[in-house]
Amino acid sequence: MKTQSIVVIDYGVGNLFNVESACKALDLDFLTTTDPQVVSNAARILLPGVGAFRPAMQRLHDGGLIEPLRNFVTSGRPLLGICLGMQLLFSTSEEHGSWNGLNFIPGKVVRLHEGAAASNSQVKIPHIGWNMVNRSPDHPSQSVLDGLPAPISVYFNHSFMAVPVDPNVVLGHCSYGENSVASVIRHNNIHGCQFHPERSADAGLRILYNFAHLDGLGSTHTGGY
């Protein structure tokens, strides 16, 4: 089955080039845009993001992208938020203040704690590096993690993490010090990766591939697999 075209949102924040390169390498049909109209008509959306919460929300707002995104999500079409792009999906963030997010998924974004789990030492913030994402016990059978072993090692670079109201939203998590970091999330048609799949070698590329092949119900079409 031919994948539908992915719209990658350019709102001036994030490493577009790498997301695009990954899509190209996977032979995915994609289009980068700032145009709210294109967003409204998209079949599926990738929302990247790097940087701080408030400026990112501001840019989405200034770009007239919030309403189209809301409509898109309401219509049940698949969306994948990456890193900051995932955090924006939530209700609020405490990064440098208290800010409202897109509120597509109830929950808040909080700072990582410096405490290490087992000792009195601290972990470094930001959380930079490859960490192991384990699947949650109630992980549904079909998601962006399809076809991947468990755990997977993926690349993180962040100081804040999302804490959803409903823990079932978390499909995959990793440990960092005393933090349990929501790493892969899904709320109906809304998906998110706190890590950077476009920078996570084979594992990350597979995740992007899976997202591109999900149907509206969240199951993957895999052709001859």
Partner 1 sequence: MGCCTRVIARLDIKGPNVIKGLQFEGHRVLGTADALATAYYRAGIDEIIYQDTVASLYQRSNIAELIKRAATGIFVPIAVGGGLRSIEDMRNVLRAGADKVILNTGAVKSPSLIDAGAREFGSQCIVCSIETARINGEYKVWVDYGREVSSLDPVSWAQEVVNRGAGEIIINSLMHDGMGEGFDLDIISQIAEKVSVPVVASGGAGKREHCLDVLRSTSANAVVVGSMFHYHYLQNSTQALPQQPSHLLGGEIDQGNFDFIKDGYGGDRAIMVQPTSVQEVKTFLSENGIVVRTAISSPLPDHRVSE
Query: Which tokens sit at 97?
Result: 């203040």
Residue span binding partner 1 (CB under 8 A) among the ranges 22-30, 37-45, 63-71, 184-192? 22-30
Least distance CB 45 / partner 1 (angstroms): 21
Residue span binding partner 1 (CB under 8 A) among the ranges 72-80, 102-110, 150-158, 164-172? 150-158
CA 19 from centre of chain: 12
d(CA 78, CA 43): 8
Identity of the amino acid at 218: G
Least distance CB 66 / partner 1 (angstroms): 21
Q: Is residue 156 at the binding interface for partner 1, with CB under 8 A as the rule?
A: yes
Least distance CB 142 / partner 1 (angstroms): 13
Q: Is residue 64 at the binding interface for partner 1, with CB under 8 A as the rule?
A: no
What is the DSSP track for 40-65? Answer: HT-SEEEE---S-HHHHHHHHHHTT-
Among 47, 82, 195, smallest CA distance to 133 is for: 195
CB 158 within 8 A of CB 194: yes
Site for partner 1 in 169-188 (CB under 8 A): 174-177
With tokens 């990064």, the residue in question is 95
Q: Is residue 122 at the binding interface for partner 1, with CB under 8 A as the rule?
A: yes
- For strands 190-193 and 79-82, give the pairing: parallel
Least distance CB 116 / partner 1 (angstroms): 7
Least distance CB 67 / partner 1 (angstroms): 26
Which member of 76, 106, 129, 167 binds partner 1 (CB under 8 A)? 129
Which H helix or E strand runs over 132?
A: strand 127-135
Residue 74 exposed, middle or buried by CB count within 10 Å (0-12, 13-18, 19+): exposed
**Residue with Cβ nearer partner 1 (70 or 124):** 124
Q: Just list the catalytic residues.
A: 83, 196, 198
Which stretches of the chain bind partner 1, using CB under 8 A? 15-18, 21-22, 24-27, 50-52, 84, 114, 116-117, 122-132, 147-149, 152-153, 155-159, 174-177, 196, 198-206, 209, 222-225
